[in-house]
Amino acid sequence: MKVRAVAAHALSLIGHPAVLTPLALFAAAEGRASSDVPALATLAVALIVVAFSAVQVARGRWVDSDASQISERVQLNVFLTAILGGAAIAAWAAKAPTQLVAGIAMATAIVVVALLLRKALKLSLHVAFATFAASFFWPDWPIVAVLLVLAVAIAWSRLTLNRHTQAGIIAGALSGVLAGSALIFSA
């Protein structure tokens, strides 16, 4: 493998929503009065999604865990919508902090947008969740800037690996920024 391809794969793995989002939540919660419950819940959701993907691949329903084929992405996004939507409802019912409920709802909204746009383009959830994760650190600009640079690197990786078009990358970035803005203003 070329160095460029290896770097792209590494960035794609680091930027996977099931990796980056829980790590960002743990880091954002560190030093704050909040507990690690949101990050642990995010990690649990991520593990459920990874297990779902692994089962789909093992049963031969998906080519690989990246869910690149349109039918695979539809299945993944419907599953994500159910899991995240259910988590948002459970958090709301448990009277969790407004920002936590809003964060889960915004994550659900990102996936729903990807589902709705599926016939027009393949929205990059990697880029969407990378830009969304930057909002967890608002208003700490140096950290937000580092995460946005990471989001650009993840976008490069997804383009280099031919997983998305520029339009899918831009749509992902916009959905993540919009979800992050909604999260910030819910505080």
pTM of the model: 0.91
* Cα–Cα distance, 24 to 34 (Å, whole number): 14
Q: Where are the domains of the chain?
A: 3-186
Structure tokens at 17: 């929503």
The answer to whether residue 153 scores a pLDDT higher than 60 is yes
Confidence of residue 180 (pLDDT cuts 50, 70, 90): very high
Q: Of 19-28, 52-61, 92-101, which one has max mean pLDDT?
A: 52-61
How distant is the alpha carbon of residue 19 from its chain centre? 9
Give the per-residue pLDDT at 127.
97
- How do residues 37-96 score in pLDDT, each as one tens digit? 676 777 788 889 889 989 999 999 998 877 878 889 899 999 999 999 998 898 899 888
Copy the structure tokens of residue 108: 């659900």
With 60 as the cut, is the pLDDT of residue 145 above it?
A: yes
pLDDT higher than 70, residue 138: yes
Burial group, residue 58, by CB count within 10 angstroms (0-12, 13-18, 19+): exposed
Whether pLDDT at 35 is above 80: no
Q: Is the pLDDT of residue 18 over 90?
A: no
Q: Which residue has the tokens 């599953």?
A: 79
Instruction: Tell whether the model's pLDDT for residue 104 goes beyond 80.
Output: yes
The C-alpha angle with vertex 12 and arms to 154 and 57, in degrees rounded to 5, equals 145
Mean pLDDT computed over every residue of the chain: 89
Question: What percentage of residues in the chain have a pLDDT greater than 70?
Answer: 94
Residue 146 has pLDDT above 70, yes or no: yes
In this prediction, residue 31 carries a pLDDT of 54
CA 178 – CA 158 distance, rounded (Å): 20
